[in-house]
């Protein structure tokens, strides 16, 4: 690994006169390509290069990483332009992130690092007991991956560290999609994860993202509060059984989990067995829209229905189509809810803000001929902290209606 630049040797990256330097001073972590002076020298910088960010008057604003291949051309790493990204720097930030999670959770199963909000722009680290999975979704993190891994092991004491290289974000940074074992050995079986009274199985090498979605934990818990003993519940886009297993742990009599992925449903079934719910838990593979339509034609009804789809609106260009999809989900799901029952609708699309998502959901419920009370709005758990200056970090919304 090449030695880092000494502060005096670092290149300079300068904001254009109309760029909002005040936002950077107040904590905004990104500089977009159209805000930076991109001369030939800047364009030739290797992705992930450390540089000193300056305002138009050449006053230093902090230490950034530069990636000329990305629309986010600079990511603020430190407010000190002289900061050294050595192992101590990484250890201090990981220790600060760990202290929050250890205060919040009794067992080491959580999101340990949530990107910008934890001081690691573009970096996700999920912890599964003695295993951590890193998603280095920014070029600077890929460049410093060895230091990051060393610091992670030093602070947490985990025995295994995996790199997950999948995902759209890495492609936007010009990075490959290769995954790897960084420390220890590859797990030979899914990891058992205890949450909300149930046991989930996470495939850390072949599953979606890092293997499990921790962000919905508090919303799973709220859904479990809605069930009465013996209730029938439906979990659509269930992945590895997220809402279904939590509601069974809360006393539901029967749960049906629907997903398009056979491997995810197999893990959901194994989670049901590990939780002691095998006799009350069934799965159904298929396209969610088609299964919802079929369940309506079959005359099925449930006490609680939850729909937690993937991001239908991952960017502004897909927003209108995404909102129509959320409306359609609500329209198909609402008729399946028994009178006095509950409907939970979720969105992980940061482009669809809460107001628009809520309006689309209400339209769908109304088009289904149902009337609703909105009883709770949920967000990601506290191990997914929100960076106030960055709206994109508040991506998850969960709306719970009584119909």
Nearest alpha carbon to residue 133 among 155, 101, 110: 110
132 is catalytic: no
Contacts (Cβ under 8 Å, ≥6 apart) of 186: 162, 205
Measured CA to CA, the distance from residue 326 to residue 249 in angstroms comes to: 28
Catalytic residue among 74, 132, 307, 348: 348
Measured CA to CA, the distance from residue 62 to residue 52 in angstroms comes to: 6
Measured CA to CA, the distance from residue 161 to residue 167 in angstroms comes to: 18
Distance from the Cα of residue 372 to its chain's centroid:
29
Q: Is 37 within 8 Å of 15 (Cβ atoms)? A: yes
Q: Is 225 helix (H, G, I), strand (E, B) or coil?
A: helix
Measured CA to CA, the distance from residue 331 to residue 362 in angstroms comes to: 9
C-alpha distances (whole Å) from 237 to each of 242, 308, 324, 403 are 9, 5, 17, 21
Nearest alpha carbon to residue 326 among 369, 287, 285, 356: 356
Q: Is 341 within 8 Å of 304 (Cβ atoms)? A: yes
- The 3 state secondary structure assigned to 222-279 is HHHHCCCCCCEEEEECCCCCHHHHHHHHCCCCEEEEEECCHHHHHHHHHHHHHHCCHH
Measured CA to CA, the distance from residue 124 to residue 131 in angstroms comes to: 14
Measured CA to CA, the distance from residue 325 to residue 312 in angstroms comes to: 7
Q: Which residues are designated catalytic?
A: 348
């Amino acid at each position: 690994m090449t030695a880092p630049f000494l502060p005096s040797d670092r290149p300079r990256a300068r904001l254009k006169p109309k760029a909002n330097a005040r936002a950077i001073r107040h904590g905004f972590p990104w500089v977009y390509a159209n805000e930076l002076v991109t001369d030939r020298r800047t364009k030739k910088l290797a992705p992930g290069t450390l540089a000193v960010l300056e305002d138009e008057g050449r006053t230093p604003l902090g230490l950034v990483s530069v990636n000329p291949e990305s629309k986010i051309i600079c990511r603020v790493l430190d407010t000190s332009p002289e900061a050294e990204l050595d192992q101590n720097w990484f250890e201090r930030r990981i220790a600060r992130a760990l202290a929050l999670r250890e205060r919040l959770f009794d067992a080491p199963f959580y999101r340990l690092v949530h990107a910008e909000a934890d001081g690691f722009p573009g970096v996700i680290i999920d912890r599964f007991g003695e295993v951590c999975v890193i998603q280095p979704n920014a070029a600077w993190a890929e460049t410093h991956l060895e230091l990051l891994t060393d610091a992670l092991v030093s602070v947490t004491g985990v025995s295994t560290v995996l790199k997950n290289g999948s995902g759209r974000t890495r492609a936007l940074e010009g990075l490959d999609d290769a995954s790897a074992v960084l420390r220890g050995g590859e797990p030979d079986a899914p990891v058992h994860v205890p949450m909300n009274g149930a046991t989930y199985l996470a495939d850390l090498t072949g599953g979606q993202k890092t293997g499990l979605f921790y962000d919905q934990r508090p919303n799973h818990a709220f859904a479990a509060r809605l069930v009465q003993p013996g209730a029938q519940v439906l979990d659509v886009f269930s992945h590895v059984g997220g809402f279904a297993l939590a509601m069974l742990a809360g006393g539901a009599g029967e749960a049906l989990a629907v997903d398009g992925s056979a491997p995810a449903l197999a893990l959901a079934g194994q989670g049901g067995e590990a939780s002691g719910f095998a006799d009350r838990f069934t799965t159904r593979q298929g396209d969610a829209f088609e299964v919802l339509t079929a369940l309506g034609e079959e005359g099925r009804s449930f006490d609680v229905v939850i729909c937690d789809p993937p991001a239908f609106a991952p960017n502004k260009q897909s927003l209108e189509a995404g909102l129509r999809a959320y409306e359609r989900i609500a329209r198909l799901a609402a008729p399946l809810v028994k009178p006095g029952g509950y409907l939970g609708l979720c969105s992980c699309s940061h482009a669809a803000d809460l107001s628009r998502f809520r309006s689309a959901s209400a339209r769908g419920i109304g088009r289904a001929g149902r009337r609703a009370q909105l009883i709770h709005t949920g967000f990601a758990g506290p191990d997914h902290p929100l960076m106030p200056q960055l709206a994109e970090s508040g991506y998850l919304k969960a709306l719970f209606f009584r119909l």
